[in-house]
Amino acid sequence: MSERKTLETGAPIDTIIFLGTAGARFMVSKQLAASGGMWLNLSGTQLLIDPGPGCIVQATKRKLNAEKLSAIIISHRHLDHSADANVMVEAMTGGGFRRRGQLFLPADALAPEPVVFSYLKNFVEGITVLEAEKTYRTGNISFKTSVRHVHPVETYGMVFTAADYTAGYITDTRYFEELAASYAGSDLIIVNMVLTEPRPPVDHLSKQDVERLIKEIKPKIAILNHFGMHVWQARPWLVAEEIAQKTGVRVIAARDGMKFDLSQLKELPELK
């Protein structure tokens, strides 16, 4: 697949493609929305984040070529973030015949029960165990992991730094005081909002939590993603509108297959 370039500068267009917007068990097992994760193209580097169930179907349907990926990044081992890791590793490495690409994931996604089969581990160029608040490089970009999220398994969000933008991915977590600081300075945040109302034993973000995070981080744009059943029933775009009104920040609800062009961030003023 050839890179799309801007006419003026010849620079690659920075995009995020949403290969699914379903979050948590019911949405995923019923496939009310797809659950394939996100495909990023930043400064010419292609990354696959959280390849959930159906990632291979969603990616190939959109003619995304896994052999162009620099890396597959898994925020945590839950099924809706890692189920297609094996098939995507195989796709990234040309069926295992071309040793290439990197795999990033937390330690507990590798042992004692790895989300990637042992025989596939040799197909990739390198496996890197993610730790809290560390910076990693792949292709032309770097990303920094967040503090460890409060979630039943080891979980990290990340902030990607490309030539012109920073984009934070706030993956599954409960809200906690130190969360926003990890994403400070992000031009864009993508936030997994599973719940409408807080449900205390459930370690996921609710609408109120997301409002609070947006007020704290002050991104130029926030994209809501990873919807649970209640958010889905409340219509994600209406929830986005409500949060936008309360925060004064542009808030978008992701849709399956949505391609977000990061260059629009340039035109928006800083809110800080």
Supply 149's token pair: 């999220």
Please report how close the Cβ of residue 50 comes to Zn ion at its closest, in angstroms.
Answer: 9
Backbone angles phi, psi at 251, to 5 degrees: -125, 130
Q: Which one, 154 or 172, has the nearer CB to Zn ion?
A: 172
Q: With contacts defined by CB under 5 A, how many residues of the chain interact with Zn ion?
A: 2
Closest to Zn ion by CB, 154 or 187? 154
Whole-number minimum distance, CB 167 to Zn ion, in Å? Answer: 20
**Interactions with Zn ion, residue window 74-133 (CB under 5 A):** 78
Residue 202, Cβ density class (10 Å: 0-12 exposed, 13-18 middle, ≥19 buried) = middle
Q: Least distance in Å: CB of 181 to Zn ion?
A: 21
Dihedral, 123, 63, 84, 80 alpha carbons, nearest 10:
140
C-beta of 61: minimal distance to Zn ion in Å? 25
Residues 149-208 that bind Zn ion (CB under 5 A): 172
Q: Which is nearer to Zn ion, 28 or 48 (CB)?
A: 28
Least distance CB 26 / Zn ion (angstroms): 14
Task: Closer to Zn ion by CB, 220 or 226: give it.
Answer: 226
The β-bridge partners of 38 are 18, 49
Nearer to Zn ion, 41 or 171 (CB): 171
Quick one: 66 or 109, whose CB is closer to Zn ion?
109
Task: Give the nearest distance from C-beta 146 to Zn ion in angstroms.
Answer: 14
In angstroms and rounded to an integer, the radius of gyration of the C-alpha atoms of the chain is 17
Q: HEC string of 118-137? A: HHHHCCCCEEEEECCCCEEE
Quote the crossing angle between the two packed helices 236-247 and 207-217, to the nearest 10°.
40
State which of positions 46-85 bind Zn ion (CB under 5 A): 78
Q: How far, in Å, CA of 86 to CA of 121, rounded?
A: 9
C-alpha distances (whole Å) from 24 to each of 19, 30, 79, 133 are 15, 11, 9, 26
| Contact status: 226 vs Zn ion (CB under 5 A) | no
Positions touching Zn ion (CB under 5 A) are 78, 172
